[in-house]
């Protein structure tokens, strides 16, 4: 089995703050793995470093057998390594459909983008019903679904979701986790960042606990 993501001794410092102090973790192809931890543990920093947003000061990151340490975010998107950031960050003034289309900016084939959007609508009928509605007018849960749906348009091989359940009511959390399960069933490898260990471990096969920049 190939390894989708291999993080070895990764360190990240923001000035004097050592946010990650040599962490190692692994996601096998097709696996869903959860990264758990309290506020400030370094979860977002981990995904930021993997996706080229934060700079690794030490260690190594590889994906599907290739070294991607400190690769550029757009290069990673082309390799199918997709990061859905914390806090949804959809485009509030654009419609649902337009938000999804933006997820396909690295995909040159318009037919492929259209068929992936159709797949997302099949999976998420609430978005289909609201395709012409402005993103900012969706409920929090719908916005989270849209953010994940947008990530799916890029055709992810490895999808990294940063706290998708944050601020959502329990029923909505369950629906987000159901979506993660469906994405995983399609063969996508998933790194699921969560504070909500109970729901994350229902969909993940394994989990790592991060505490003050170290795997506990």
Binding footprint of ligand ATP on the chain (CB under 6 A): 14, 17, 19, 37, 39-45, 86, 195
- Asked if residues 100 and 128 have their Cβ atoms less than 8 Å apart, the reply is no
CB of 197 to ligand ATP, least distance (A): 12
Q: Taking each helix axis as running N to C, give the angle between helix 170-185 and helix 140-153, from 0 to 180 degrees, rounded to the nearest 10.
A: 10
Nearer to ligand ATP, 43 or 130 (CB): 43
Nearer to ligand ATP, 21 or 79 (CB): 21
Element (H, E) at 75: helix 73-78
Instruction: Extract the tokens encoding 9.
Output: 């001794």
CB of 161 to ligand ATP, least distance (A): 12
Instruction: Extract the tokens encoding 201.
Output: 């471990």
CB of 15 to ligand ATP, least distance (A): 6
CB of 57 to ligand ATP, least distance (A): 13
Count the Cβ atoms, other than its own, within 10 Å of residue 114: 14
DSSP letter for each residue of 13-53: EETTEEEEEEEEEEEETT-EEEEE--TTSSHHHHHHHHTTS
CB of 208 to ligand ATP, least distance (A): 12
Nearer to ligand ATP, 100 or 192 (CB): 192
């Amino acid at each position: 089995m190939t390894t989708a993501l291999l993080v070895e001794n990764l360190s990240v410092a923001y000035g004097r703050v050592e946010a990650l102090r040599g962490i190692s973790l692994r996601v096998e192809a097709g696996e869903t793995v959860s990264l758990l931890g309290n506020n400030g543990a370094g979860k977002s920093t981990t995904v930021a470093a993997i996706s080229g947003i934060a700079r690794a000061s030490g260690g190594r990151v590889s994906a599907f057998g290739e070294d991607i340490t400190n690769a550029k975010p757009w290069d990673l998107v082309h390799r199918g390594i997709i990061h859905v950031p914390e806090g949804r960050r959809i485009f509030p003034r654009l419609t649902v459909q337009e938000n999804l289309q933006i997820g396909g900016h690295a995909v040159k084939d318009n037919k492929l983008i259209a068929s992936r959007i159709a797949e997302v609508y099949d999976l998420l009928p609430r978005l289909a019903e609201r395709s012409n509605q402005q993103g900012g007018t969706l409920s929090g849960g719908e916005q989270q679904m849209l953010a994940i749906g947008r990530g799916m348009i890029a055709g992810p091989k490895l999808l990294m979701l940063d706290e998708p359940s944050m601020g959502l009511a329990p029923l909505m959390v369950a629906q987000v986790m159901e979506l993660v399960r469906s994405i995983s069933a399609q063969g996508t490898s998933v790194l699921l960042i969560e504070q909500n260990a109970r729901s994350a471990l229902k969909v993940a096969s394994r989990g790592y606990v991060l505490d003050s920049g170290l795997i506990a």
